[in-house]
Amino acid sequence: MHALPLLVEPEHLEPLLGEPDLLIVDLCQANNYAEAHIPGAVHLEYANLLLGTKPAPGLLPDAARLSATLSAIGLTPERHVVAYDVEGGGRACRFIWTLDALGHSGSSLLNGGLFSWANEAHPLSQQPTKPTPSSYWASIGDQVVATRDYIKQHLRDAQVVLLDARTAEEYNGTTVRAARGGHIPGAVNLNWLDTIDRTRNYRLLPDNILLAMLAERGLRDDHEVITYCHTHHRSAHSYVMLRHLGFDRAKGYPGAWAEWGNSPDTPIET
């Protein structure tokens, strides 16, 4: 199988269906998967990627739980993953970020997900794929994972920029979803939905437009950019966008605002 880029188009994926070293992972709701999915895709419950414990449900599960989850879908270190969903890419990108956190070497996002695949007449199936379980061992690194303490230590670091992927209302504190509203000091705001082109089946906007949006907010590809939202769902999409655009030092904050806004000792701005 030819090497796939981080962002793969449906027409480039279709000829590869059935390749043994390719694992297509569907992160839609179970009922969406039953209704229609990419032939050969295995289904993965999104909740299995999250710790799921308040006040910060978006934190990563431990390595043992991730190992069991990834073994159950048949992942091996050699297999290249293509992930997709039907909600703009947030779930699929959270999976890709998780694989990056584990040091998995090959993963791609289907640009537009099931929207682009189905609306552009690519094949669909209702036949569930039963994966052959593997023995995948997950080991969580810190290269793409930012913690609350790490961010607190780098709030005045000019080389570290925080990108808040939430709505403007969440960012400025008029919509409050934690004990406190607002944003992490110094963070810039780019709503993840503003980076998606609804006229092109929910693909990412063209690279030049995205780069201009980032430049307007003072982001350069030599910055370490840490993305966050409320549970690192929306901001996982921002993380993959940054990686696609050449921001090789991108990280994600899985604790996100759910953790930061509920912590009594973290500074905030509104």
Catalytic residues: 229
CB 56 within 8 A of CB 255: yes
- From the CA atom positions of the chain, what is the Rg in Å? 18
Who's near 265: CB < 8 A, 6+ residues apart?
A: none
Who's near 229: CB < 8 A, 6+ residues apart?
A: 164, 165, 166, 192, 235, 238, 256, 257
Task: Give me the residue label for tokens 């419950």.
Answer: 45
CB 191 within 8 A of CB 103: no
Label residue 203 left, alpha or beta by phi (over 0 means left) and psi (-120 to 50 means alpha): beta
Among 264, 243, 11, smallest CA distance to 148 is for: 264
Task: Give me the residue label for tokens 């090497």.
Answer: 3
Beta bridge partners of 110: 8
Among 250, 237, 259, smallest CA distance to 160 is for: 250
Who's near 98: CB < 8 A, 6+ residues apart?
A: 49, 60, 66
CB 257 within 8 A of CB 170: yes
